[in-house]
Structures are given as structure tokens and as C-alpha cells.
């Protein structure tokens, strides 16, 4: 099983902030990028069949150099490592 995008939300009116949630192997990973202060919050939750992830634990907070491409590259690399894709 691969990684599936569960939800994606982009808010250009909020400094380009966005949220992305992906699910793989009974785990959900939520990425929340704050475009104003330029940091990325990563949270994880178990994801059971027919149930919305609801037990979020903060995995890390990463400060960025106000670059969307850096945030996207970090998300891609974290997913590759976490799910061996």
C-alpha cells in the first residue's frame, strides 16, 4: 500500500499557509505550514479503517527560511524515510 493524500488545504490569503494530511500503513501524518512565521508542524496519529485520525501527537516543529519549496522538499523527504517509499 502506498501513501494516500487524505486532505490538502491551501490558504493564499493567510500568507500561503497550508495543511496536508497523508495516510499510509494505519498511520496519518499531518503537516501544517505557517506561511507568516515560516515554520512547519508535523503531527502523527493512528488511522484505523473507517475512522478519522483523532489522536494527534506532535512529532516535530521545523523553522524554515520562508520558502515554500523548502517546506515541500522536507515533507517529501520525511514521507520517503517514514514509509520507505
Domain count, the chain: 1
Residue 47, number of CB atoms within 10 A of its CB: 21
- Which has the closest alpha carbon to 3: 19, 34, 26, 32? 26
Render each residue's pLDDT in the chain as its tens digit; 85 residues: 588 999 999 988 888 899 999 999 889 999 999 988 999 999 999 988 777 888 999 999 999 886 778 999 999 999 999 988 7
DSSP 13: G
Please tell me the pTM assigned to this model. 0.89
Structural domain of 55: 4-83
Amino acid at each position: 500500500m502506498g501513501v494516500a493524500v487524505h486532505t490538502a488545504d491551501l490558504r493564499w490569503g493567510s500568507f500561503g499557509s497550508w495543511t496536508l494530511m497523508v495516510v499510509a500503513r494505519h498511520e496519518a501524518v499531518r503537516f501544517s505550514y505557517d506561511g507568516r512565521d515560516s515554520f512547519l508542524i508535523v503531527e502523527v496519529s493512528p488511522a484505523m479503517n473507517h475512522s478519522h485520525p483523532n489522536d494527534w501527537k506532535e512529532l516535530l516543529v521545523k523553522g524554515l527560511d520562508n520558502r515554500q519549496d523548502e517546506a515541500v522538499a522536507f515533507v517529501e523527504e520525511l514521507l520517503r524515510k517514514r514509509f520507505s517509499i
